[in-house]
Amino acid sequence: MSLELIPVLEIDCSDQEIGIPSDKNPEIWKQYYNECHKKAGLKPYKKGLFFYKLSDVSGENLTKLILDHTQEMREGIFEREQMCSFFGGYVLRVGHQDQFFPQCCGELSDIWYWERIAMEENSYCEGHPAPQVSFKEGKITFDFSVRELDEPFQPNPPRLKLCVDGKELKKAVEVAKKELKSFGQHLNKINEEKGLNIENIEGLLIWDNANYE
């Protein structure tokens, strides 16, 4: 059974030319954001979610993301150590079906979570909620069940429990890391072209997270 770990960015954008809703109805706000993303030329990984494959983000939009994400650091409001990597994370896709999406506070640096899980090591996870994970004889089981008052997974995983082969997850992690390295080259190019002078920009926006050290 095929197994993929797909890096995605979570992008929240607005457009002053599109009227901001005065209504608090979440569906109206969802429609507003969908229109903003469509105008920006952003095609979501899955309809209704604001996750985007790295390869689907244009150079223009990536430049804007970099500028917005690093603005307060470049202005001296925050120190580098207070920054986080790009928001998003990884879609776990098994057998051509999406099983798990990045959760609240997920980041690209969560690749270290997946690498440790693939090595059958328990790990902290930046995103929340996070599945309970167990290991047995080379198999890795993700338990997505939650108690009544617990924070729910969004969107709901299609299965409460999912068992994957550890070797296949390791392969998926390595494929994802190769894509991240290629993405890092794009970040370096923009950093140079725009004269941002951000030291090790790919470390800042992809890899670095003190919680995984």
Taking only the tens of pLDDT, the chain with its 213 residues reads 799 999 999 998 766 566 677 677 777 777 777 777 777 788 899 988 899 999 999 999 999 999 999 999 999 999 999 999 999 999 999 999 999 999 999 999 999 999 999 999 999 999 999 999 999 999 999 999 998 888 999 999 999 999 999 999 999 999 999 999 999 999 999 999 999 999 999 999 999 999 998
Q: Tell me how many domains the chain contains.
A: 1
CB 118 within 8 A of CB 111: no
In angstroms, the CA 135 to CA 11 distance is: 33
End-to-end distance of the chain based on CA atoms, in angstroms?
32
User: Positive or negative, the Cα torsion across 192, 197, 198, 200?
Assistant: positive
HSE-up (13 A, CA, CB side) for residue 30: 7
The CA-based angle 180-181-182, given to 5 degrees, is 90
pTM of the shown model: 0.92
The domain containing residue 127 runs over which residues?
3-212
Contacts of residue 64, Cβ cutoff 8 Å, sequence gap at least 6? none
Kindly state the DSSP code that residue 80 receives in the 8-state scheme. Answer: G
Please give the pLDDT value at position 15: 60
pLDDT value of position 208: 97
